[in-house]
Amino acid sequence: MTESSAGNAFHDLDAYLALPRPAGLTLSPDGTRLVTSVATLDAAGTRYGTALWEVDPAGDAPARRLTRGAKGCQLLDR
């Protein structure tokens, strides 16, 4: 999604519903790891799937997906 399409998401209900939905931020006790769940709309646009993502608390590294799978969560290799 580009910056311009994200800006249009608030003018188009379908685009708004398709935006990823982060929730439940959890910071590790030592403050070095931040994990969140992110719900995304499936290709058919009928339901959301959820995956866990690791986010760099300092903002230096890009977010990294930790789980993936059609049913349930499967941990990805680190």
Report d(CA 66, CA 50) in Å as an integer: 11
- The pLDDT value recorded for residue 70 is 61
User: Can you read off the two tokens belonging to residue 59?
Assistant: 């903002």
- The pLDDT value recorded for residue 4 is 54
Going from N- to C-terminal start, the domains of the chain cover 20-75
Name the average pLDDT for the chain: 82
pLDDT digits (tens, 9 = 90+) for 5-33: 556 677 888 888 889 999 999 999 999 99
Residue indicated by tokens 């399409």: 5
Strands (E), the chain: 21-27, 34-41, 48-55, 64-65, 67-68, 74-75
Q: pTM for the whole thing?
A: 0.70
